[in-house]
Amino acid sequence: MATFTFEIKNRPNRAGKFPIYLRITQNRKHKRIKTTIELNRKNDFNPKAKQDNWIKKQEPNHKKWNDILAKELERGKDAFRKLEEEGLATSEMMASVINNKGKPSSFLDYAREKTRGIFNEGGIRNWKKYNGFCNKLDDFLKEKKAKDLTFAELSPTLLSKFKSYLHTLHNVREPEKMLRPNTIALNLRIFKTIVNKAVKEGLIKPEKNPFLSFENKLIKTSKEKLTDEELERIKNLELAEGSRIWDARNLFLFSFYFTV
The domains of the chain are located at 2-99, 107-217, 228-257
The b-or-e profile of 166-179 (16+ CB within 10 A means b, else e) is beeeeeeeeeeeeb
Query: Rounded distance, CA 166 to CA 117, Å?
Result: 25
- Inform me whether the pLDDT recorded for 248 exceeds 50: yes
> Which residues fall within 8 angstroms of residue 107, CB to CB, at 6 or more apart?
149, 150, 151, 153, 154, 198
Cβ 173 vs Cβ 213: under 8 Å: no
Cβ 115 vs Cβ 127: under 8 Å: yes
For the chain, percent of residues with pLDDT exceeding 90: 39
Report residue 31: phi and psi, to 5°.
Answer: -135, 120
- Inform me whether the pLDDT recorded for 136 exceeds 90: yes
CB atoms within 10 A of CB 65: 20
pTM of the entire predicted model: 0.52
pLDDT digits 0-9 by tens, 204-244: 888 889 999 886 444 555 556 778 888 888 888 888 998 98
